[in-house]
Amino acid sequence: MAIGDLPIFAALKNRMQWHQTRQTLLAENVANAETPGYRGRDLAPFSIESTARRSGATVTTTATNRNHYSVGGDPSRAMGARTMNSFEVMPEGNGVTLEEEMMKVTTNQMDYQAATTLYTRSMRLMKIALGKNV
């Protein structure tokens, strides 16, 4: 078993992937902040339990009828993306508040940095414990 396959490292990898996917959604929200009728999207909060239940397998379908739904290919769907309930809706129907989105982006970046720092330091400690030069 490789060091990176330990459950703690798998959980940290999932957490970093969640932050990357959330960053993509938040960037879409910022990019569409003035698009009429656009509703922002965000991920459900990260939890170890939901991550453990979710498998790494993906399902891809081919739409043979325009009424079919797509169930694969979009990582934000696999992470539980959902439309946000916005209390502030602009006259053109846009539900994205740029200031809120920028705060979420900043918080997400700081949390991602914390997860990567923890991953890096934990990996270094494991290597030291195993007697491998860092």
pLDDT at 6 over 70: yes
Under the banding of pLDDT at 50, 70 and 90, the label for residue 78 is low
List, for residues 34-51, the tens digit of each pLDDT value: 888 888 899 988 887 766
Does 27 map to a domain? yes
Cut 0.85: pTM above it:
no
Does 72 map to a domain? yes
CA nearest to 123, candidates 8, 1, 14:
8
The secondary element (H helix, E strand) that includes residue 22 is helix 7-31
Structural domains in the chain (count): 1
- Average pLDDT, stretch 52-71? 50
Range of the domain at 106: 7-130
Distance CA 2, CA 130 (A): 12
